[in-house]
Structure 1
């Protein structure tokens, strides 16, 4: 079953912005990644759907811990 995430929520406890910035949005300025950005390949809605799907595969205790961290 695929669930949808609420726009404005986060996959990690870092920001309420869209995930479009990825790890670069919270990484130190000197951090360099070998992973290319996807830019506009997915809409914000599609990104949230992918994140919600991934989260739906986590065991319930893990989802509960993540929910607590995001408050």
Structure 2
């Protein structure tokens, strides 16, 4: 049986914390920023934890 390969694209998008949480950048701050208020764009900075519904799928892609 061959080894499972981790998804390199997911590895670049998601970071695993010391306690095992999955952390990623906040979505929605790449483009179309002109019509978004500065309050919204400020709120989009930083990192957020991956949604609970997605953690199983992301962990599988990371090979965990």
- TM-score above 0.5, yes or no: no
**Larger RCO (alpha carbons 8 Å, 6+ apart):** 1
Q: Quick check: which one's helix share is greater?
A: 1
Which protein has the larger Cα radius of gyration, Structure 1 or Structure 2? Answer: 2
Q: Give 1 or 2: higher strand fraction.
A: 2
